[in-house]
């Protein structure tokens, strides 16, 4: 097999979905960038820019190629013939009024949830990211940046660890490789890491320091409120010189969740275990009598903030999952209608 495909993370799961002929002709590749009407595909031989035809735009977002996907091109390398089944997908509900999924990165092995030792740090935000990571089937690692700017970085690391026992936390100065031992341990040849988090936490800085060149633009954060300036504008997959693949993602303002039921049970297993002791099996832990969860909050066994975030995520998940399900149903009904109309026309055609 082409070694460069392996360098891009081409494992048997994907090889089984392609033919030897497609591989030998350099028609198989990995999506490294997605722009409005074209995608960049690398790995087969040279990196190619492939136009994304309108047929792809007509599909639901989850069926379109995204960064990290494996695709097969046609014989002329002029279009995407198919997108290979994914090992996993990191996605969110797109910002805005409509409930629509937005893909962030496909086929990632590890998610670096980047957060920094300043006002940006929020346990509730980490819980949100962890839920989406668990749902995507990836290993989440919290990367805590800007330890050089804080007198109290250990307490930030402690707070990050308390969000979920066992979650790895790596503390770094993103500008200084000598602090990267913990981070290096996660990087392997052919494995894919996505960098996600708020704007200004240092995702692109991490990438540049790891790559030892300035691949991505970075920008100072606002002094008054420590907010970033949304410097990175599109997602891109980069190959690190020492092996390993890194996807730099623009700062996420709001990671809205949908279809993360099982993941919420995992991330909040302490609350769910306690909920089994509530008097009513359908207790919403609001004002019901005999609520073991609220009791645990009063005793200080569960943080009030954590319960609030859990209930907020539950409601958000319920609402968004329901509207996605409805949308899919409408989509199917419409497709069926189109099929019937076509069949009818064909039928009339043959009779005429």
Binding site for ligand GTP (CB under 6 A): 145-146, 148-149, 173-175, 199-205, 218-221, 228-232, 250-251
Nearest approach, Cβ of 240 to ligand GTP (angstroms)? 16
Closest CA to 192 of 68, 305, 326: 68
Q: Which is nearer to Zn ion, 278 or 314 (CB)?
A: 278
Non-local CB neighbours of 43 within 8 Å, separated by 6+ positions: 2, 4, 5, 7, 8, 10, 28, 29, 30
The answer to whether 194 touches 111, Cβ cutoff 8 Å, is yes
Q: Which does 230 bind (CB under 5 to 8 A by kind): Mg ion, Zn ion, ligand GTP, none?
A: ligand GTP
Record the tokens describing residue 202, joined without a space.
């240092």
Closer residue to Zn ion in complex, CB, 132/283: 283
CB-based contact 83:56 (threshold 8 Å) = no
Length of the chain: 352
Which one, of 72, 67, 87, lies nearest residue 238 by Cα? 67
| Residue 164 Cα to chain centre, angstroms | 19
Partner whose binding site includes residue 278, from ligand GTP, Zn ion, Mg ion, none (CB under 5 to 8 Å by kind): Zn ion
Torsion angle, CA of 323/329/331/332, rounded to 10 degrees? Answer: 160
* Region near Zn ion per CB under 5 A, out of 16-24, 97-105, 189-197, 279-287: 279-287
Tokens of 152: 């109290």
Provide the 10 A C-beta neighbour count for residue 176.
11
Q: Which tokens go with 236?
A: 């891109």
Q: What's the min distance (Å) between Cβ of 187 and ligand GTP?
A: 18
Nearest to Zn ion of 281, 350 (CB atom)? 281
Residue placing its CB nearer to ligand GTP in the complex, 107 or 231: 231
Q: Pairing state of beta strands 101-106 and 110-116?
A: unpaired
Taking CB within 5 to 8 Å according to partner kind, which of Mg ion, Zn ion, ligand GTP, none is near residue 44? none
Query: Which residues, 11 to 50, sit near Zn ion by CB under 5 A?
Result: none
Residue for token pair 């790895």 = 168
Nearer to Zn ion, 160 or 283 (CB): 283
Q: Which residues of the shown chain bind Mg ion in the complex (CB under 5 A)? A: 203-204, 231-232
Q: Can residue 302 be called a binding residue for Zn ion (CB under 5 A)?
A: no
Choosing among Zn ion, Mg ion, ligand GTP, none, which partner's interface includes residue 219 (Cβ < 5 to 8 Å by kind)?
Answer: ligand GTP
Residue 257 binds which one of Mg ion, ligand GTP, Zn ion, none, with CB within 5 to 8 A depending on kind? none
Q: How far is the CB of 218 from Mg ion (least distance, A)?
A: 6
Give the residue with the Cβ less far from Zn ion, 210 or 278.
Answer: 278
**What sign does the dihedral 3-4-8-10 (CA atoms) show?**
negative
- Comparing CB distances to Zn ion, the nearer of 225 and 286 is 286
Question: Residue 125 is encoded by which pair of tokens?
Answer: 């935000």
Is 113 a binding residue for Zn ion by CB under 5 A? The answer is no
Residue from 130, 174, 291, 307 binding Zn ion (CB under 5 A): 291
Residues 6+ apart with CB under 8 A from 85: 13, 17
CB of 179 to ligand GTP, least distance (A): 8
Interface positions with Zn ion (CB under 5 A): 278, 283, 285, 291, 293
């Amino acid at each position: 097999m082409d070694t460069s495909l392996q360098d891009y993370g081409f494992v048997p799961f994907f090889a089984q979905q392609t033919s030897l002929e497609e591989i030998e002709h350099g028609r198989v590749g990995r999506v490294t960038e997605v722009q409005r009407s074209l995608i960049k595909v690398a790995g087969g031989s040279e990196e190619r820019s492939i136009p994304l035809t309108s047929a792809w735009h007509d599909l639901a977002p989850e069926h379109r190629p995204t960064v990290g996907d494996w695709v097969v091109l046609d014989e002329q390398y002029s279009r995407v013939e198919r997108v290979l089944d994914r090992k996993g997908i990191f996605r969110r509900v797109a910002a805005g009024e409509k409930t629509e999924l937005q893909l962030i990165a496909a086929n990632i092995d590890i998610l670096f949830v980047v957060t920094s030792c300043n006002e940006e740090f929020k346990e509730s935000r980490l819980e949100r990211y962890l839920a989406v990571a668990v749902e995507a089937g990836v290993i989440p690692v919290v990367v805590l940046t800007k330890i050089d700017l804080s007198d109290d970085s250990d307490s930030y690391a402690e707070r990050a660890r308390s969000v979920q026992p066992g979650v790895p936390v790596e503390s770094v100065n993103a500008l200084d490789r000598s602090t990267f031992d913990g981070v290096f341990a996660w990087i392997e040849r052919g494995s894919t890491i996505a960098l996600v988090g708020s704007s200004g936490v240092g995702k692109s800085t991490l990438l540049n320091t790891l790559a030892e060149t300035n691949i991505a633009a970075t920008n100072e954060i606002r002094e008054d409120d420590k907010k970033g300036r949304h410097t990175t504008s599109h997602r891109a997959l980069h190959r690190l010189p020492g092996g390993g693949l890194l996807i730099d993602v623009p700062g996420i303002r709001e990671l809205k969740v949908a279809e993360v039921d099982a993941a919420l049970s995992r991330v909040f297993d302490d609350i769910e275990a306690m909920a089994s002791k509530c008097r009513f099996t359908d207790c919403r832990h609001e004002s019901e009598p005999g609520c073991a969860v609220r009791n645990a909050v009063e005793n200080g066994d569960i943080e009030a903030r954590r319960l609030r975030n859990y209930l907020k995520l539950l409601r958000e998940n319920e609402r968004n999952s329901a509207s996605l399900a409805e949308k899919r149903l409408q989509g199917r009904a419409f497709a069926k209608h189109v099929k019937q109309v076509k069949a009818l026309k064909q039928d009339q055609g043959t009779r005429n």
